[in-house]
Amino acid sequence: MNLSWKKILLWSLPILVIFVLIWQGFVISSSSEINQNLFTSRMTYGRFLEYLNMGWIKKVDFYDFGHTAIIEAIEPELDNKLQKIRVELPPTTPELIAKLKQCKIDFDAHPVQDTSLLWVWITDLVFPSLLIIAISFLLRTSNSAPGGPGQAMSFGKTKVSVQMEAKTGIEFDDVAGIEEAKEEFQEVVTFLKKPESFTAVGASIPKGVLLVGPPGTGKTLLAKAIAGEAGVPFFSISGSEFVEMFVGVGASRVRDLFKKAKIHAPCIVFIDEIDAVGRQRGTGIGGGNDEREQTLNQLLTQMDGFEGNTGIIIIAATNRVDILDSALLRPGRFDRQVTVDIPDFKGRLAILKVHARNKLLNVDVSLKSIARRTPGFSGADLANLLNESAILAARKRKDFITMIEIDQSIDRVIAGMEGVPLVDNKIKRLIAYHEVGHAIVGTLLKNHDPVQKVTLIPRGQARGLTWFIPSEDQTLISRAQILARIVSALGGRAAEEVVFGDTEVTTGAGNDLQQVTSMARQMVTRFGMSNIGPISLENPNSNPFLGRTMTSNLDYSDGIATNVDLQVEKIVSDCYYQATNIILKNRVIIDRLVDILIEKETVNGEEFRRIVTEYTRLPEKQLYISHC
Ligand code: ADP
Ligand code: MG
Ligand code: ZN
């Protein structure tokens, strides 16, 4: 419940009180004759009999089973004015009735004014109970507000953290690019819809499925789609929400979660970030965590506690399956693993199609070319990209999203915000040479991706940028391709040095050199692409509690370590030599390109290549671009 609701409640309380008070007053003053007559004068029974004998009584109304009477009598003392007087009677006397009859006095008996009494009762009851309900409601909501004062008092209750969606409204069609994962789950959906077909042949469906993959690849979305397709409720909680300050809270949350799930079965229970609770227990590094272990134990107990075919399917998501406790992965628990990875070209295209459904795209927008330019983008990145483009288009008051907005958004996602253009000076010239250095080397190398554009407009940390069109299938890269990348990454520094001399080179190449070194080292230690031979010198099972780099490189001798360093150095220096050569040979083209770049700030790939072909032949690119 949010704040505005609480405000409304707070304000409505006094109004409620006033309303009820008025209501009660109204009831008392109007609806009950007997109550109204509370305000009339009274007389004793003896005096009443006297009045009767004197013939001053005109009318008698009995109330309250004859215990009370309101009489109308002439008061001689008051100029014979007719007065209403109240008399309490002894237990009904038949003689009185006979006497009244005899004296021909009009009399009447009234039932207990139960309606009025009822009203009084109701108002007396309703008001305090309303008050109590309202107050307890208020207290409860303030308790459940995250971080609110009542937090410590309400621990153990999952009312806050377990979210239930009766209908997720998401279907398999909304999830794209992870077809294998969807196929895996098709069976789960069928089971949730028609469990009989499975149970009839004695098959039991897995209780737990683990979704493994980097953030933003659609794990949550997929889990919701399963619930949506099967038409069952979706319970979700994040692993980090299990682990609280107090020992035992997490465990009780797990119990609560399963209790609820059982009530709503068949259903999907989704535990996000399960690594937060499911880490390997008892490693001792950094001290144990009682709370986490208790929570994990409870989770295991609960998972063992229900039969496979109760219709509860637990889907957990993590991006670090390597650190999970092995007990979690045992049969009967999360014994099925489904990997969702960063999408490839086809996947990206499919995801873009899903998210382009509700966007107005101009005819010049090619989803294929977006997909080609965005290797490494997750589904969430792509969704975000299209949304950013839409926002940009709206800001420019365009009716359609054009390729311009999309290009801008891609650049922004990859390289950060656009900065102000540099003023013309020596620095700008140097940056221009640096970028053209990258671009010309990349263009003239057979195995390098083609230039998409070169720009001097700063973005993020970079003062200038050279974009290459990435070839598809970045997971399979040849040695020649990596070398070409290293050479072109060194092209920037090489150009600076050739043109300005080795005392004038700048820190601008720092990032390039980092990448170069990392690529060269991986060639040696991971991919067996050096003279050391096809050996992997990385320990893939590095301890999850220490950073990867702290434990890798430990498994081999000092001799090999020295050799690795030598090989890395050799690769880099060979490549630098190549880069310098290309710069030296093409100095005339470079000077021309730099002038154009400084004037235009941005030169696109086609133009760049056109200028280069005026001077030299372009190599025929040998790229592993997949068929698209
Ligand atoms: P994860 O749980 O893996 O971190 P999410 O499922 O939360 O990722 O994805 C975030 C958003 O990104 C989704 O709501 C969706 O808009 C988009 N998205 C991610 N993957 C896909 C996909 N495969 N198909 C369509 N949209 C996707
Ligand atoms: Mg998620
Ligand atoms: Zn550079």
Q: Which domain holds residue 545?
A: 426-627
Dist CA 232 CA 211 (whole Å): 19
The answer on whether 506 is annotated among ligand-binding residues is no
From ligand 3's centre to the CA of 434, what distance in Å?
Answer: 6
Mark whether 564 and 617 lie in a shared domain.
Answer: yes
* 445-448-453 Cα angle (round to 5): 100
CA-nearest of 233, 240, 260, 587 to 441 is: 587
Q: Give the burial class of 34: count Cβ atoms within 10 A of its Cβ; 0-12 exposed, 13-18 middle, 19 or more buried.
A: middle
Asked if residue 216 has its Cβ within 6 Å of ligand 1, the reply is: yes
DSSP result, 532-548 = T-S-----TT--TTS-H
Q: What's the 386 CA to ligand 3 centre distance in angstroms? A: 28
**234 with 291, same domain?**
yes
| Residue 555 annotated as binding site | no
154 vs 327, residue with greater confidence: 327
Instruction: Identify whether residues 462 and 561 lie together within a single domain.
Output: yes
| 448 and 408 in a common domain | no
Is residue 557 pLDDT above 90, yes or no? Answer: no
DSSP string, 177-192: S-HHHHHHHHHHHHHH
Residue 420, in any domain of the structure: no
d(Cα 5, Cα 177) in Å, to the nearest integer? 41
- Asked if residue 78 is part of any domain, the answer here is yes
Ligand 1 touching residue 214 (CB < 6 A):
no
Q: Are residues 378 and 483 in the same domain?
A: no
The per-residue pLDDT for 566 is 94
Which ligand approaches the C-alpha of residue 224 most closely? 1
d(CA 605, CA 603): 7
State whether 548 and 490 are in the same domain. yes
Nearest CA to ligand 1 atom 11: 380
Q: Which is the closest atom of ligand 1 to the Cα of 177?
A: 23
CA distance linking residue 282 with residue 586, whole number of Å: 62
pLDDT at 307 over 50: yes
Q: Are residues 309 and 379 in the same domain?
A: no
| Among 163, 172, 221, 382, residue to substitute to test ligand 1 (most atoms within 8 Å of Cβ) | 221
Q: Does one domain contain both 498 and 435?
A: yes
For atom 5 of ligand 1, which residue has the closest CA?
218
pLDDT of residue 151: 40
Tell me which residues are annotated as active site: 435
CATH number of domain containing 594: 1.20.58.760
383 lies in the same domain as 528: no
Q: How far is the CA of 611 from the centre of ligand 3 (A)?
A: 21
User: What whole-number distance in Å separates Cα of residue 484 and Cα of residue 51?
Assistant: 126
Nearest CA to ligand 1 atom 14: 221
Asked if residue 212 has its Cβ within 6 Å of ligand 1, the reply is no
pLDDT digits (tens, 9 = 90+) for 167-223: 888 888 999 988 888 888 888 888 888 888 887 888 777 788 899 999 999 999 999
169, 231 Cβ separation under 8 angstroms? no
CATH number of the domain that residue 400 is part of: 1.10.8.60
Is ligand 1 within 6 A of the CB of residue 175? yes
Ligand 1 atom having least distance to the Cα of 224? 6
Mean predicted lDDT score pLDDT of the chain? 81
The atom of ligand 1 lying closest to the CA of 343 is 23
Boundary (domain end) residue, out of 45, 76, 109: 109
pTM for this structure? 0.64
Of 78, 109, 140, which residue is a domain's last? 109
Report whether pLDDT(45) > 70: yes
Task: Check whether residue 462 and residue 383 sit in a common domain.
Answer: no
Domain stops at, among 315, 339, 363: 339
Asked whether residue 421 is domain-assigned, the answer is no
* Number of structural domains found in the chain: 5
74-92 pLDDT, tens digit per residue, is: 877 777 778 888 888 887 6
Mean predicted confidence (pLDDT) in 585-608: 94
CA of 447 to the centre of ligand 3 (A): 19
What is each CA distance from 314 to 173, 236, 266, 306, in whole angstroms? 22, 10, 11, 12
555 shares a domain with 464: yes
Q: Which bound ligand lies closest to the C-alpha atom of 236?
A: 2
Question: Is 540 marked within a binding site?
Answer: no
CATH number of the domain where residue 284 is located: 3.40.50.300
Give a yes or no: residue 438 inside a domain: yes
| 347 in contact with ligand 1, CB cutoff 6 A | no
From residue 308, give the alpha-carbon distance in Å to each of 167, 198, 258, 332. Answer: 23, 11, 14, 8
Does 70 contact ligand 1 (Cβ within 6 A)?
A: no
Residue 213 annotated as lining a ligand binding site: yes
- 6 in a labelled binding site: no
Residue 218, ligand 1, Cβ within 6 A: yes
Identify whether residues 431 and 509 lie together within a single domain. yes
Ligand 1: which residue has its CA nearest to atom 25? 175
pLDDT confidence tier of residue 159, bands split at 50, 70 and 90? very low
